[in-house]
Amino acid sequence: MKRYAVFGHPVAHSRSPRIHAAFAAQCAIELEYTKIDASPDAFAGAVAAFGRAGGLGANVTLPHKLAAAALCEQVSDRARRAGAVNTLVRASNAWHGDNTDGVGLVRDLQARHGLDLHGRRTLIIGAGGAARGVAPALLDAGIGALVVANRTPASARTLLDAIDAPASARACGLDSLPMLGAFDLVINATAAARGDGLVALPASLVHTGSAAVDLGYGAAAAAFLDWARDAGAGVQVDGLGMLVEQAAESFMRWHGIRPNTDPVYAMLRADDGG
């Protein structure tokens, strides 16, 4: 049996096993896909033990995406630009890293929600592994001016430097948000904006043509999407479609087959009563 897993802390909520089981059934592939909860201190050891036990690949979620990059003998160009890894591939007794978050987000926004990203003035809230994962792909998709806002502005600047952002890209603190005007695309990429309640976001950040995207899904995305709706953003998108699309990209890295994501996305929406 081919062994795969998702690493996180916490990870009990993860839908990755259900997604990959559906992909495997669709593609007639037998596999075992489990959840592994590892604290930051235990993460490296847990990944090593999984490899020794025959693990062939893994997904990595919060808070380990940055740490996962350090465990890899090689990383893809998109993982290098992001400085974060969400997909591990076992090859020649070593881990190779990739980051499928960005391509998953772009594919979901363009193909599923019909959004033209070209030229959109874009705000990313947060500068952690999730933001690093999606920012390069958004730039490659042709977004317009980019602003990254974070509690610590220096971390936002570090992100822009790491992803080779254009000189026009700007880093700022959350206290600068009221002075930034409206954006065509606002992405919530920070768990801090969800865990203890949404940070104060001015309604001036969006207009009727704006798309507001939370990289989380379910209850984790509710506060931000409620804010976006109340503020007048014309489109609100949670991260469920991105989750499915990035998983499909991981699945293709492991098995060489791209699954059909639409029925799996519909399955998860049905699970939520949507």
Counting every residue written for the chain, the total comes to: 274
Q: What are phi and psi of 252, to 5 degrees?
A: -65, -40
| Domain carrying residue 76 | 2-99+241-271
- Beta partners for residue 95, in sequence order: 90
Same domain, 126 and 216: yes
Task: Based on the fold, state whether residues 93 and 117 are members of the same structural domain.
Answer: no
Cα–Cα distance for residue pair 40/37, rounded to 1 Å = 10
> How many structural domains is the chain composed of?
2
Tokens of 196: 């203890």
Phi, psi of 122, rounded to the nearest 5 degrees: -125, 135
**For each successive 10 residues of the chain (274 residues), what is the average pLDDT?**
96 96 98 98 98 98 92 95 94 96 97 97 93 94 97 96 93 97 96 61 98 93 95 98 98 97 97 81
| pLDDT value, residue 130 | 87
Q: What is the pLDDT of residue 197?
A: 60
Same-domain pairing of 214 and 125: yes
85: left (phi over 0), alpha (psi -120 to 50) or beta: beta
Give the count of beta carbons closer than 10 Å to the beta carbon of residue 258.
12
Residues 191 and 209 in one domain: yes
Contacts of 205 (CB under 8 A, 6+ apart): 123, 177, 180, 181, 182, 183, 186, 231
Statement to judge: residues 110 and 224 lie in one domain: yes
Those residues with Cβ within 8 angstroms of residue 265's Cβ, 6 or more apart along the chain or in another chain:
112, 240, 241, 244
200, 255: one domain: no
Residues 109 and 210 in one domain: yes
Q: How far apart are CA 156 and CA 129, in angstroms?
A: 11
Per-residue b/e over 210-230, b at no fewer than 16 CB within 10 Å?
bbbbbbbbeebbebbbebbee
Neighbours of 232 (CB within 10 A): 15
SS3 18: helix
Q: Look up 65 and say whether it is catalytic.
A: yes
Q: Cα 5–59–46 angle (5° rounding)?
A: 60
- Residue 194 pLDDT: 46
Helix (H), strand (E) counts: the chain? 11, 12
Point out the annotated binding site for shikimate: 14-16, 61, 86, 101, 217, 246
Feature table: binding site: 14-16, 61, 77, 86, 101, 126-130, 215, 217, 239, 246
Which residues does the annotation place in the binding site for NADP(+)? 77, 126-130, 215, 239
* pLDDT at site 193: 45
Residues 27 and 88 in one domain: yes
What's the rounded Cα separation, in Å, for the pair 119 and 144?
4
> What pLDDT, on a 0 to 100 scale, did the predictor assign at position 220?
87
Residue 73 confidence (pLDDT): 97
Same domain, 94 and 121: no
In a shared domain, residues 75 and 139? no
Question: Same domain, yes or no, for 123 and 172?
Answer: yes
Report the CATH number that the domain containing residue 58 is assigned in CATH: 3.40.50.10860
Q: CB neighbours (10 Å) of residue 131?
A: 26
Q: Which residues pair with 87 in a beta bridge?
A: 59, 98
Give me the CATH number covering residue 172. Answer: 3.40.50.720
Q: Are residues 213 and 251 in the same domain?
A: no
Q: Return the pLDDT at 129.
A: 81
| CA–CA distance, 240 with 270 (Å, rounded to integer) | 12
- The active-site residue, picked from 65, 80, 107, 132, is 65
